Chains A and B, each alone.
Chain A
C-alpha cells in the first residue's frame, strides 16, 4: 500500500529535457522564473505561455501528470486569486456587494497571477522536477555549489545527507509497511476512530521504526568508514558532468526566451499590463 508512493515527481523518460545536464537545468529553471516575472505586456505574456507549452511538448510529460501535480496547490491558486480580486483597487468598480468592491483591475490581476503560477509550475516541473531524478538533482546541486566549499559551506555533506535520505526512504517505507502489518495482526486499527486514536495507533509503529533507523544509521556509518569514506577529502567521482552539445542548445533556447521577453517588453509598450 505504501509502496506506491513515488519519490518526488520524477517521471522517467528520454526526452531532450531528461537528457540535459542537471546543472544546466537548475540554472535554466532560474532563468525561466525570472523570465515569467519580467514579462510586462500582452505579447511578452503570450510568449511566456507559448514557451511553456513548447517546454511541456518537448518534455513528453503527459499533460495529465502535470495537471495532477498542480492539484495540491489548487487552493493556493484560488486563495491568491481571491485576494487579488478583492484587494486590488481600481477606478470604477465592476460591481459592489456591501463592502466588497470588485474592480476590473482586480480580475485582470487575478487572471495574470493564475497564469503566472500555472506557467511557473508547469515550466519548472518539466525543466526540473519531472525530468530530473532526485539523485541527479542533488548531484547537480553539489557540483554547482562546489565553489562555496571554499567558504567552508558544507556542500558535500549536505549532498551526502540527501543521497542517503533518498537511498533509505524506500527501505524505511517498506519497513513501515511491515511494522504496520505486524501491528494490524495484533489488532491495531489505523483506519478507524478519532484522529487522536488513529495518531495513537501510530505510536507503536513509529517507535520501532525510529529504533531501527538509528541502528541502520549506525551500521551505515561503520560500513562507510570501511569503504574509506572521510568526507570530501581527496574524493573523486566516477561520473563527471560535461556540457554536451544538447546542453548548450538548451542554454541557447533559454537565452532566446529571455531575449524575446526583453525585446517584447521594450518594443510593444502600448499593451502593457
Chain B
C-alpha cells in the first residue's frame, strides 16, 4: 500500500523511560529507529511489557521522549517550539483506540460520544453532525446512533470508539490491542472495520496485537522486544524466522508452526505458509507421494 517514498512517521534514536520514583528510572524504549509510510498497515507484536503501548503514546504526544526525534507528517513533534495547538493537531492526525472498549467512551449516547472529539476541536455543529453520521455509516452502526453504550456488545462498543476517532478525520490510527478483549465475533467485526479503513480510506494503521492471524493481514510486521525493534519486515519475512521469534517467547501463526515442525522432522515441505490455504497447498504434494 505504501506508494509514498517519504515516511509519514519517522523515529530517530528515540529513548523513553518512566520515572518510577525520585531518581529511579525504567527504560521502556531504547534507541528506536522506524519509518512508517502513509497508507501502510503495520502490525506491532511483542510480549507484555515490551514497550508497545509506550511507543504508541509517543506518536500522539501523550508521552514525550527523553531523547531522539519523532517526525509526524513532516513536523518535528519533539521540537521545543511545539505550541499547545500543535499538540492537539498531532492528536487529531494520529488517533488512538484502546483495549478496553468501556474505558474510552465518554458520553451516555452513542452519537454524542462520537461527536466528543470533534466538539473538543471546536468544529461547527452542522459539520460535526455530518461527520458523526459519516463515521456511524463507516463502522456500520447507524441504527445504534441513539443507543446507550452499555446496551452494546464489546465489538460494537469498539466500533463506536473507532467512529469517534474517524470523525476527527485522522491520517493514522493506532489500535492498542483493540481486539484483545473481544470475543471471536467482535474481533472479526473490528478487524473488518480496521482493514476497510486502511484499504478504502488510505488510513495508516498501526495495529498492536497478540493475535498472529491478525498480524498476517498486515503489510508489515514490527516486533518489539525489551524496548527495542527486534524484527521488522513483511509477515512472510518475519514469520519465516520461527526460531528467532520463539527465542523471545512469541508465537507464530499455527499453520506456520505446523510447517516449521514438519520441516524440522525432515519432511520435504517446500514453502513457508502464513494462511491455511497456503499451508494446504504446501502440504498437498506430500499427500500425493
Contact = CB atoms under 8 A, between A and B. Distances in A.
A166 B109 CA distance: 11
B150 A228 contact: no
Contact of A135 (B104, B109, B111, B118): B109
Of the candidates A228, A229, A234, A235, the one having the most CB atoms from chain B within 10 angstroms of its own CB is A228
Contact of A237 (B57, B111, B125, B165): B125
A238 B115 contact: yes
B106 interface: yes
A238 B148 contact: no
A219 interface: yes
26 contacts: A135-B109, A167-B105, A215-B103, A219-B103, A220-B106, A222-B57, A222-B98, A223-B96, A223-B106, A223-B161, A224-B106, A226-B91, A226-B96, A227-B116, A227-B117, A227-B164, A227-B168, A228-B92, A228-B120, A230-B84, A235-B119, A235-B120, A236-B124, A236-B128, A237-B125, A239-B112
A240 B57 CA distance: 34
A184 interface: no
A32 to B, nearest CB: 27
Contacts of B98: 219, 222-223
A227 B108 contact: no
B120 A219 contact: no
Contact of B128 (A215, A223, A226, A238): A238
Contacts of B161: 223
Given A135-B109, A171-B150, A238-B128, A227 B120 contact: yes
A75 to B, nearest CB: 32
B62 interface: yes
Interface string B68-94: 000000000000000010001001100
Q: Which 10 A-B pairs have the closest CB atoms?
A: A219-B103, A223-B104, A238-B115, A227-B117, A170-B150, A234-B122, A238-B128, A228-B120, A226-B96, A135-B108
B88 A228 contact: yes
B51 interface: no
A216 interface: yes
Contact of A225 (B91, B118, B150): B91
Interface residues of A, number: 29
B123 interface: yes
Interface residues of B, number: 42
Contacts of A238: 111-112, 115, 118-119, 125, 128-129, 132
Given A227-B165, A239-B112, 16 more contacts: A135-B109, A163-B107, A170-B148, A220-B104, A222-B62, A223-B98, A227-B116, A228-B117, A228-B121, A229-B116, A230-B120, A234-B122, A235-B120, A236-B118, A238-B132, A240-B125
A174 interface: yes
A238 B131 CA distance: 10
A133 to B, nearest CB: 8
Interface string A174-199: 10000000000000000000000000
A178 to B, nearest CB: 12
A134 B108 CA distance: 10
B60 interface: yes
B124 A163 contact: no
Interface string A218-257: 0110111111111000111111100000000000000000
Contacts of A268: none
Contact of B123 (A174, A227, A236): A236
Contacts of A166: 108
B128 A225 contact: no
A164 interface: yes
A234 to B, nearest CB: 4
B46 interface: no
Contacts of B132: 238
A102 to B, nearest CB: 51
B95 interface: yes
A4 to B, nearest CB: 14
Interface in A140-183: 163-164, 166-167, 170-171, 174
A164 B112 CA distance: 12
B100 interface: yes
B149 interface: yes
A8 B165 CA distance: 31
Contacts of A236: 118-119, 122-125, 128
A54 B115 CA distance: 38
B102 interface: yes
Given A223-B98, A230-B88, A163 B106 contact: yes
Nearest to A231: B120
B118 to A, nearest CB: 7
Interface in B148-190: 148-150, 161, 164-165, 168
A228 B104 contact: no
Contacts of A167: 105-108, 149
Contacts of A164: 106
A252 B121 CA distance: 38
